[in-house]
Amino acid sequence: EEEAALVRLCHRARTDKEPEAASWYREQGNREFKRGQYRAALRLYSKAASHELPGSPEVSLCFANRSAALLHLGHFEVCLEDIDRAESHGYPDRLLPKVLLRKAECLLCLERLQEAQDILKVLESKIAQNGVVTTHLTQLKKLSQLKVKLHEKERCSEPAQEARGGIPGEPEIWEKNSRISGASSSLSLRFDAERGRHLVASQDIVPGQSLVKEEAFVSVLCPGESLPLQDGDTAWDTRATNADLYCHRCLRPLLASVPCQGCSYAKYCSQDCADMAWQQYHRTECSLGALLLTLGVFCHVALRTVLLAGFAEVSRLVEWSHRGDKNLQNPEARCKPLSDAGAGSRGIPGCGSNGQYQSSYQALFHLLPHTEQHSPEHKFLCMLSVVAICKQLQATGLEAAVLNQESPQQWSKPKTCGKTSDELSPELKTVAEAMLRHVLQLQCNAQAITVMQELG
Ligand SMILES: [Zn+2]
Ligand SMILES: [Zn+2]
C-alpha cells in the first residue's frame, strides 16, 4: 500500500527525458527570443536541451538557439562553447552558415581576429559550394558586414590584453589549530553525551574573526518548491527551479547548462562537473531522480553521503557500531551515540587515533543521531524512505554501483536485470542502516541550526 502511494507521488516529480517537453520548451524559448527576452529564452532552451535524448539532432538545435541568446547577452565565450556543442551534436549542415556567422561575430567581439577570419573563409567557400540561391540574402549581407568589421579591427589592432594575474591566495586569517584541521586556535573540541562533538572557545574571540573553514563533506542542491503538485497536472513549467539555476554538483549559478545524459533534472556548469558527478554519485542517483525528489533532501543527502564515502568505509563503520551491542535486533541500540572505541586518544568520537579532527566520513558518522528524541512515527517514516531507496537500487540493478563492485566500463549503463526479491541483500541492509543514521543526524542538526538562528 505504501509502495503504491509512493509510486503515485513520484509521478508528480518528473525527472525522465520527455522529447515532447523538449520541443514545447524550445518553442517557448523562441517566443521569448522574439520578444527580446534573451535571459528567459536562455533558460527555456536549457530546459529543452535537458529533455532531448542524447545524440538526437534536436539537442544540437537547442544549443544553437541558446548560443544566439548568449550572443545577445554578451556572453561571447559561453556562446562559442554552445556553438561547439551544437556542432559536435550533429548540427544540420544546411543550417551551418547561420551558426558560423554567429561564431565569427563572437570571435570579432573577443578580438580573436585571425580565428574570425578563418571562419569567414570557411563560410565563403561553403556559400560558393551551395550556390547563392540556397543562401539567405541576410546571411550574405551579414557576411560582408563582418568582413568590413574584421578589416577595421585589423587596421587598428592592439595586442589583445589577457593581463589576468593569478588569483591571489586568500590570506590566512587565523592561527591554525593543531588538533582541528581548518579551525582557528581560539577553539577547542569537546564531547558530551547530550550535544555530541562540539566546539568551544578556548580564548576570547574578536568580532569578525574567522573560526572555521571546512569544505562540506556532502552537498545536495535543494530543489526548491515549484514542483507541480496537482494530480494529473501535465503542464510543463516554464518557471526556473533551483535545478535550472544552479549546477547539480558544484552549486555555481548556471548560464549555459550541460544536461545530464540520462535525466532531465541534473544540469551542470560544465562537462567536467557532469563527468565528475557521474563518476562520484550520479550514475547511481540518475534513475532514482523522481524518488529522491519525492522523499526529500535529507534522504538525498543520506544516499549521496554513503556513495561518496564508498561501501568499504560505510560497512567498516556500521560493523564497528554493532560491536558491543547486546541486542542486534534493536535498531535503537544500533544508532546509539558512539563513545568508546574509535574515539581517538582524547576520547572524542570521530577523531583520528592521534586525537586529530579532520573532515572525513568517520567524523560525520559519529555525529549524534539523537535516536531517543525522534518520535517512533518519524523513525518509522525515515526507515520506510530509506528502504524504498534501497529497494529501487536493487530493482534497477544499481546495487553493484553502490557497493563499488563494478568495473568502470559498467558505469555508463547499469544492467536492468535486477533481482526482484522482496528481501534486501545483506550489503544493502548495511547501506540502509547507514542512511537511516544520516537521515536522523540531519534532522537533529537542522533543528540545532534553527535553534541557533532563533537565539541570534
Ligand atoms: Zn559545476
Ligand atoms: Zn541524470
Distance 291 CA to ligand 2 centre (A): 13
Same-domain pairing of 364 and 407: yes
State how far the alpha carbon of 353 is from the alpha carbons of 199, 344, 358, in Å. Answer: 19, 4, 11
Does 410 fall in a domain?
yes
> Do 55 and 188 belong to one domain?
no
Residues 179, 44: one domain?
A: no
Residues in contact with 332: Cβ distance below 8 Å, sequence separation at least 6, in sequence order: 371, 372
Last residue of a domain, one of 126, 154, 182: 154
Residues 43 and 141 in one domain: yes
Q: How many domains does the chain have?
A: 2
In a domain, residue 79? The reply is: yes
Which ligand is located closest to the Cα atom of residue 221?
1
**52 and 181 in one domain?**
no
Assess contact for 252 and 246: CB atoms under 8 A: yes
**Å from CA of 267 to ligand 1 middle:** 9
Task: Between 64 and 333, name the one with better pLDDT.
Answer: 64
Greatest extent of the chain over all pairs of C-alpha atoms, in Å: 86
* Same domain assignment for residues 125 and 184: no
25-63 pLDDT, tens digit each: 999 999 999 999 999 999 999 999 999 998 888 999 999
Which numbered ligand comes closest to the C-alpha of 274?
A: 1
Residues 186 and 134 in one domain: no
185 located within any domain: yes
Within this chain, do residues 414 and 345 fall inside the same structural domain, yes or no?
Answer: yes
Kindly report the CATH number assigned to the domain that includes residue 66.
1.25.40.10
Tell me, in angstroms, the distance from the centre of ligand 1 to residue 401's CA. 22
Question: Among all ligands shown, which has an atom nearest to the Cα of 258?
Answer: 1
Q: Are residues 118 and 183 in the same domain?
A: no
d(CA 202, CA 209): 14
Q: Which ligand has the nearest atom to the CA of 219?
A: 1
Q: Are residues 419 and 306 in the same domain?
A: yes
Whether 187 and 147 map to the same domain: the answer is no
Q: Does 248 map to a domain?
A: no
Residue 397 lies in a domain: yes
Residues whose CB is under 5 A from ligand 2 (ion)? Answer: 260, 262-263, 266, 286
Kindly give the distance from the C-alpha atom of residue 60 to the centroid of ligand 1, in angstroms, as a whole number: 21
In a domain, 403, yes or no: yes
Confirm whether 264 is domain-assigned: no
Cα separation, 369 vs 367, whole angstroms: 6
pLDDT digits (tens, 9 = 90+) for 126-146: 888 776 555 677 777 888 888
- Residue 30 CA, ligand 2 centroid: distance in Å: 26
**251 CA distance to ligand 1 centroid (A)?**
6
**Cα 213 to Cα 359: distance, rounded to the nearest angstrom:** 11
Quick one: 309 and 423 in the same domain? yes
Nearest ligand to the C-alpha atom of residue 268: 1
On whether residue 364 sits in a domain, the answer given is: yes
Ligand lying closest to the C-alpha of residue 266:
2
Structural domain of residue 371, as residue ranges? Answer: 174-203+296-456
Cα 249 to averaged position of ligand 1 atoms, centre (Å): 5
Q: Which of 77-81, 92-96, 230-234, 243-247 has the lowest mean pLDDT?
A: 230-234
Whole-number average pLDDT of the chain: 82
d(CA 31, ligand 2 centre) in Å = 28
In this predicted structure, the answer to whether residue 452 has a pLDDT above a threshold of 70 is no
For 315-357, what is each residue's pLDDT tens digit?
Answer: 999 998 888 654 444 444 444 444 444 444 457 888 887 788 8
**Residue 260 DSSP class:** P
